[in-house]
Chain A
Amino acid sequence: MTVIVLIFLYAPIMFLVIFSFNSSVTGANWMGFTLKWYGELFLRSPDIWEGFKNSLIVAVFSSLTATFIGTMAAIGIHWYKPSFRRYINFNIYAPLIIPDILMGVSMLMLFVSMRIRLSLFTIYLAHTTFSLSYVVLVVLARLENFDSSLLEAAMDLGASEFQTVRRVIIPMALPGIIASFLLSFTLSIDDFIITFFVAGPGSTTLPLRIFSMIRFGLSPVVNALSTILVGGAILLTLLGRKFLKYILAGEG
């Protein structure tokens, strides 16, 4: 069973990796080992690197913003306004349920009606918006583990509201905050649909760039790029594993 699952999961990726070293241009069959696609990627694909840079900029800033606003919102929802919660809950979940394509269309309409020029900035706004829901959910889940007497204890011991947030709530929620930052980052960097709608000229992100390259036929350069991305992801996972474990264990 496990083996079948693993094959389903990893076969496409293995294929991709193998074919990134294939010297055939069409990629239909194996014509021998080569590194020329990597050379092509690194030396003669400024568009890809431009897209990569854009993606990184958007991902870093949107996930930072979403993590900050989302964490504050989660703290507020959890401790300060429990009665408000029902109403908030729906609004938090909505973006997770609404199909991306609707989100994309509605954001495009919003930007157009407000006469905001489509650019990296609009992508940043859109990504911040959808990441926000995830951040609130993840941080809230983390805060759920701690009951309100901790907050009262802090106040009792002389902490102001601000000191309570800074010295108790945020350190306690930190694993959740970091997890939600990583999640937002991942969501942002590989978002295609929403980005597709709100991107303007000169603000092509990596997924959009790859899509446009593939429209003119499968390019082995894309395989090479993907291989590097997969490798990078694996490396990061291995490095972050200890940290992830710490997050998931939730150390109560």
Chain B
Amino acid sequence: MDKDGAVYSVELENVTKIFDESTVAMKNVSLKVKKGEFFSILGPSGCGKTTTLRIIGGFETPNEGTVRIDGRRVNNLPPNRRPVNMVFQNYALFPHLSVFENIAFPLRLKKMTESEIREKVEYMVELVKLKGQERKFPRQLSGGQKQRVALARALVNEPRVLLLDEPLSSLDAKLRQYMLMELDRIHDEVGITFIYVTHDQAEAMSVSDEIAVMNNGVIEQVGTPPEIYESPANTFVAGFIGETNFFVGKVVDVSSEYLKVETRFGILTCYKDKEAKIGDTVEFMIRPEKVYVTKNYPPQNMNFLRGKVDQLIYLGSHTKYYIMVENTLIRSIKQHTRYWMDESTISWDDEVYVWWNPDDSYLIKVTGG
């Protein structure tokens, strides 16, 4: 907890943003972001991520709801008076100012002395590893370097919250990965709250303390990366985060730990993550890395299906199998642990068993029947 006593860095309470009758960018969004967290907002294009960030930054005003920063209501504060800074998707560096002057911009507005400015800018330049580039102009920088300048400029004011709108989207894959790690390091060093918007689930998963999954202007789920991956709140979250296999069916038997479900593949057993009774319609999923593909008959008490290898994609560290079962593709991923494995004997069009432990499935949804 902070000196001012607030636990949450940013709170949105039932925020609704309507651009016009047909565009409701945010519907009743509530979020609580803890101090010092690396918080991601993840969702497909057009779901309202940028709008959410802009509402926090003060660039948009909500039609309804409350925005709080450090416990203080800021609905009516303009961007220049909020203790947050933003890294824009296109960096928004001032083209007429050098790297040094870009970073010094907020300090000059505060009328700091030349030596204070120099000291702070130098610290930032060091932090984002831009030593030696201070005199260059934005047009002379690479994408990654521009990114660093934008970061330094947003951090030099020592904001309470840093907002980042898909800051890595214009970098190539390798650099993106590297910059992501850099962001993580900088986050650790400055210790303030980061709110990071992205449509890339791998990005969000790898660095976030918490993720809010957004869809169509609605927050579908907020949770840690494992929570979101292992226990998705609904089919949208399950499908958006990683690959998965969905099953739908009617409950035919209930035990203390498991449900027996009549699906189009026959009776399958799934773990009882939620209460259900006989006759209910349920939806459950199994992640591909928990699905095995073998030619041999599976061990006892496993769910299993028979199918034909439709596609087999060797990816070095792992292989992806797509098995056709009753006109449906079941996905499986096999991580390679040894140099040469038995599974290599499985090839296209082979008849195989697809199986998994019922404990590994996750019950997403129960609809009373």
Residues of B within 8 A of A252 (CB): 95, 139
Write out, one digit per residue, whether chain B residues 94-105 have a CB within 8 A of any chain A CB (1) or not (0).
Answer: 111100000001
Report yes or no: A149 in contact with B80, Cβ–Cβ below 8 A: no
- The reply on A41 being an interface residue by CB < 8 A is no
Report yes or no: A158 in contact with B59, Cβ–Cβ below 8 A: no
- Residues of chain A from 83 to 129 with CB closer than 8 A to chain B in the complex: none
Q: How far is the CA of A152 from the CA of B95 in the complex (A)?
A: 14
Residues of A within 8 A of B157 (CB): 157-158
Q: How far is the CA of A174 from the CA of B94 in the complex (A)?
A: 13
The listed residue with most B CB atoms (<10 A of its CB), out of A152, A157, A251, is A157
Residues of B within 8 A of A174 (CB): 96
Q: How far is the CA of A172 from the CA of B96 in the complex (A)?
A: 6
Report yes or no: A149 in contact with B88, Cβ–Cβ below 8 A: yes
Q: Which of A152, A158, A163, A167 contacts B92 (CB 8 A)?
A: A152
- Distance between B158 CB and nearest chain A CB, rounded to angstroms: 12
Report yes or no: B109 in contact with A158, Cβ–Cβ below 8 A: yes
Interface residues of B toward A: which range? 20 to 34
Q: Which of A146, A150, A152, A163 contacts B109 (CB 8 A)?
A: A163
Write out, one digit per residue, whether chain A residues 140-163 have a CB within 8 A of any chain B CB (1) or not (0).
Answer: 000000110110111111111001
- The reply on B110 being an interface residue by CB < 8 A is yes
Q: Tally chain A residues at the interface, Cβ within 8 Å.
A: 21
Q: Which of A150, A155, A167 contacts B78 (CB 8 A)?
A: A155
Report yes or no: B85 in contact with A157, Cβ–Cβ below 8 A: yes
- Distance between B86 CB and nearest chain A CB, rounded to angstroms: 5
- The reply on A213 being an interface residue by CB < 8 A is no
Q: Given A158-B80, A172-B96, A251-B95, is A152 in contact with B106 using a C-beta cutoff of 8 Å?
A: no
Write out, one digit per residue, whether chain B residues 250-266 have a CB within 8 A of any chain A CB (1) or not (0).
Answer: 00000000000000000
* Residue ID in chain A nearest B139 by CB atoms: A252
Report yes or no: B86 in contact with A172, Cβ–Cβ below 8 A: no
- Residues of chain B from 64 to 96 with CB closer than 8 A to chain A in the complex: 78-80, 84-86, 88-90, 92-96
Report yes or no: A157 in contact with B88, Cβ–Cβ below 8 A: no
- The reply on A168 being an interface residue by CB < 8 A is yes
Report yes or no: A157 in contact with B78, Cβ–Cβ below 8 A: no
Report yes or no: A150 in contact with B80, Cβ–Cβ below 8 A: no
- Residues of chain A from 132 to 188 with CB closer than 8 A to chain B in the complex: 146-147, 149-150, 152-160, 163, 167-168, 171-172, 174
Report yes or no: A146 in contact with B95, Cβ–Cβ below 8 A: yes
Write out, one digit per residue, whether chain B residues 54-67 have a CB within 8 A of any chain A CB (1) or not (0).
Answer: 00010100000000
- The reply on B146 being an interface residue by CB < 8 A is no
Q: Given A172-B96, A251-B95, is A158 in contact with B106 using a C-beta cutoff of 8 Å?
A: yes
Report yes or no: B79 in contact with A251, Cβ–Cβ below 8 A: no
Q: Which residues of A contact B (CB under 8 A)?
A: 146-147, 149-150, 152-160, 163, 167-168, 171-172, 174, 251-252
The 10 closest A-B pairs by CB, nearest first: A153-B92, A157-B106, A149-B92, A155-B79, A171-B96, A149-B88, A158-B109, A155-B80, A156-B79, A158-B80
Q: A153-B88, A156-B154, A158-B157 are in contact. List 17 more A-B contacts (CB 8 A).
A: A150-B92, A152-B79, A153-B86, A156-B57, A156-B84, A157-B85, A157-B109, A157-B154, A159-B109, A163-B109, A167-B109, A168-B94, A171-B97, A172-B95, A174-B96, A251-B95, A251-B139
